[in-house]
């Protein structure tokens, strides 16, 4: 091979190496570009997801009734008002008889969940009703909590220290109910070891069917004539154990007596 032929061969080899290096550089450039595009796309995915979530949420919060928002089940918190905790009620002297058994007496209980109206049975249970009227007119019940909610049974209140114990500082012997207790029956609460008819200040309202099984040992006060659904709503706040203080707390803000 001549000198010129060798030179031509070396030139071709040099050109081939140059083209190979250019091809490798171009391939590396394409790989870097693809990695950049892929990384950018991965960054865009969460951004797009967040944007979509905000758009959907904004559409559901505008007050419109779309098919989805109108039909899906919703949980709502029961209405509550501010609870003002008051000091424990001071003991009272035993009441004198002040009611007229020939008159009609009504108790209106204002609670933070609504109003409950009770027709007091002055004719059938004058001692019992006299005690209730006395305590209510003294403001004894104002500000007390509903201290007990028992599922399918009762709600209870009237404890001077907002527990299920205590009383006004005295006890009376009240009249039994005319028949079996029923939903809406209002009667005095007592300890299990106390004689039938013993009463102080705590009372209960029958709110569920189990009230009908209660023995007639609890002095009768009257019957709910308005707001039994309010009482049953409060019963629905019973704890998971099914018997205890309702959650959220419920307060009797005022008890008013009217007579006619």
Residue-level pLDDT at 83: 86
Per DSSP bridges, beta strands 198-199 and 172-173 are antiparallel
Beta bridge partner(s), residue 157: 146, 203
Is the Cβ–Cβ distance between 225 and 129 less than 8 Å? Answer: no
Q: Give pLDDT, residue 200.
A: 98
**pLDDT tens column, 162-181:** 999 999 999 999 999 999 99
Q: Are the C-beta atoms of residues 250 and 113 closer than 8 Å to each other?
A: yes
Percentages (nearest 5) of helix, strand, coil residues in the chain: 35, 20, 45
Predicted pLDDT at 60: 38
List the one residue out of 64, 49, 57, 250 whose CA is nearest residue 144: 250
| Structure-token pair, residue 222 | 């009257």
Q: Please state whether the peptide bond connecting residue 248 to the residue before it is cis, i.e. omega within 30 degrees of 0.
A: yes
For tokens 């007592």, name the residue.
190
- Rounded to an integer, what distance in angstroms lies between the CA atom of residue 234 and that of residue 85? 18
For the full predicted model, state whether its pTM sits above 0.85: no
DSSP, collapsed to helix, strand or coil, labels residue 142 as coil
Give how far Cα 197 sits from Cα of 191, 235, 254, Å.
11, 24, 26
Q: Is the dihedral of CA 103, 208, 231, 246 positive or negative?
A: positive
The predicted structure's pLDDT at residue 29 = 65
What's the confidence (pLDDT) of residue 82? 75
Q: Which parts of the chain register pLDDT below 50?
A: 37, 44, 47, 49-80
For 136-168, write each residue's pLDDT tens digit: 999 999 999 999 999 999 999 999 999 999 999
Cα–Cα dist 210/235, whole Å = 13
């Amino acid at each position: 091979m001549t000198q010129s032929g060798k030179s031509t061969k070396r030139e071709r080899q040099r050109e081939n190496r140059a083209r190979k290096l250019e091809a490798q550089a171009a391939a590396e450039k394409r790989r870097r570009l693809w990695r950049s595009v892929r990384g950018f796309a991965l960054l865009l995915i969460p951004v797009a997801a967040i944007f979509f979530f905000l758009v959907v949420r904004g559409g559901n919060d505008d007050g419109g009734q779309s098919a989805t928002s109108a039909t899906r089940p919703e949980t709502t918190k029961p209405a509550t008002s501010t609870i003002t905790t008051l000091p424990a009620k001071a003991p009272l002297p035993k009441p004198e008889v002040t009611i007229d058994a020939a008159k009609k007496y009504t108790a209106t209980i204002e609670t933070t969940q609504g109003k409950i109206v009770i027709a007091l049975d002055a004719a059938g249970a004058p001692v019992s009703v006299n005690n209730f009227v006395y305590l209510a007119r003294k403001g004894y019940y104002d500000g007390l909590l509903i201290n007990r909610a028992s599922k399918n049974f009762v709600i209870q209140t009237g404890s001077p220290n907002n527990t299920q114990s205590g009383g006004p500082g005295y006890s009376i012997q009240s009249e039994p109910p005319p028949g079996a207790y029923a939903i809406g029956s209002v009667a005095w609460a007592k300890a299990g070891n106390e004689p039938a008819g013993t009463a102080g200040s705590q009372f209960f309202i029958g709110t569920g069917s189990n009230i009908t099984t209660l023995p007639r040992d609890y002095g009768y006060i009257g019957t709910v004539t308005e707001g039994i659904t309010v009482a049953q709503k409060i019963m629905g706040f019973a704890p998971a154990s099914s018997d205890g203080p309702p959650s959220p707390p419920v307060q009797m803000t005022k008890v008013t007596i009217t007579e006619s």
